[in-house]
Structure 1
Amino acid sequence: MDDLSKKNRRTGYIVLGLVLGMSALTASSVELYKLYCKMTGFGGKAEQSETAKSDVILDREIKVRFNTDVSVNLPWEFKADQEPLTLKLGQEAAVSFSATNLGNQGFAGTALYNVDPPAAGVYFHKNQCFCFDYQLIAPKKEAHFPVVFYIDPALDKDPQLKDLKSITLSYSFFKADSPELEKALEDFYNSGNSGTTSVKIK
């Protein structure tokens, strides 16, 4: 009996270790994705700005559109709170997004984002953002998420963007700690940093 008890305990420890390991992997994947996007602007990933705002504002204007998506297993309604904005390069803007939990219980979500066209991502600086954070919304309640950003005036010197008239900032919410979120992160890493995912959204 003693040997059997030891084996059962050992099996229990192994199972517990696997569960904790998978949970840690999910959390670390989001943090690694966040760190990568903070350090690079490739593949439509906006830069995390080191300064509060640009010291230079140019006359050239860019229209910024907002796109929102929600994973099919997250019962939220998610939308931008404003129409497209037309901004001068270097001009700071503050916008917001709102999400409503349509379910009968609390649900948590995590948002990923990208910028289109991808080449503009390196010039899109976010000073405040809600992406990658664990967002818990009570049933039938609404939450608002602010975003503060500007477009680097250096974009004006990029020859491949000389005819650029508009940029689209997209956010996609996934159920926190879900296989869909993990799949979205995996697709990002495997797509050559294209900033796209194959996860079904509604």
Structure 2
Amino acid sequence: MTAAANLQKNNARVGLYALLLALGMLGLGYAAVPLYQMFCQVTGFGGTTQRATEDEASLAAARAQQLAGATVSVRFDANVDSDLPWTFRPEQVTQTVRLGQRQMAFYYARNNSDQPITGTASFNVSPAQTGGYFNKVQCFCFTEQTLQPGQEVVMPVLFFVDPSIRSDRNAARVEQITLSYTFHRTEDPA
């Protein structure tokens, strides 16, 4: 085999490796968002709340009985993205809740435009270290919301704060948790 043929073979191998590396990086780029969301939901990182079943809520209530009525204040925050012509606000700004006990909060929304609009609520909890302890059983944020022109709705969120928050040295002294939602316009599939 000549030196030129050897060089051409090596160049082809390097080119193939570079192509595979580029495809791998592209695949990781597409997978990064879902993997990050999964990581945040599992760990509560960045104030990501947890989703809980009715059974998990019942177990938390049973654990809370051992804390003799320990409470935390929950503040409710509402925001609307600038391209969404909605009014959106909490019905009650704060609630004092017993740890482990299911609570319900309500948010008001109104479509101020003359056309139906679909929106999705993104959410987080602060301080960030409490995200793993804030559990939503039911929430309007789990699905898209479509409001007709001028339509007003009251949307509930059923939640509880896991009593094991008092065992976490980073979150045990937290006195107020802020649950914040931001509504964004959902792109029209048409």
Q: TM-score, normalised by structure 1?
A: 0.68
Q: Which amino acid aligns with 1:149?
A: F
SS at match of 1:91: coil
- Aligned twin of 1:56: 63
Gaps of 5+ in 1: 1-28, 179-202
**Aligned-pair distance for 1:38?**
4.5
Aligned residues: 151
**Aligned-pair distance for 1:37?**
5.3
SS at match of 2:141: coil
1:81–1:96: 8 Å Cα contact kept in structure 2? yes
Q: Does 1:143 align with 2:153?
A: yes
- Aligned twin of 1:93: 103
1:43 to 27, 42, 46: 46
Can you list the C-alpha shifts for 1:32-53, whole angstroms capped at 9, x where unaligned?
7875654442210011114233
1:112–1:132: 8 Å Cα contact kept in structure 2? no
Q: Which runs of 4+ in 1 moved over 6 A?
A: 29-34
Relative to 1, partners in 2 of residues 1:31 and 1:79: Cα closer, same or farther, differing over 3 Å? Answer: farther
Give the number of the structure whose residues are more often helix, by fraction.
Answer: 2
Relative to 1, partners in 2 of residues 1:113 and 1:45: Cα closer, same or farther, differing over 3 Å? Answer: same
2:111–2:151: 8 Å Cα contact kept in structure 1? yes
Task: State the structure with more CA Rg.
Answer: 2
- Aligned twin of 2:130: 120
Q: Which whole-Å CA distance do the structure 2 matches of 1:88 and 1:52 have between them?
A: 13
Relative to 1, partners in 2 of residues 1:30 and 1:132: Cα closer, same or farther, differing over 3 Å? Answer: farther
SS at match of 2:140: coil
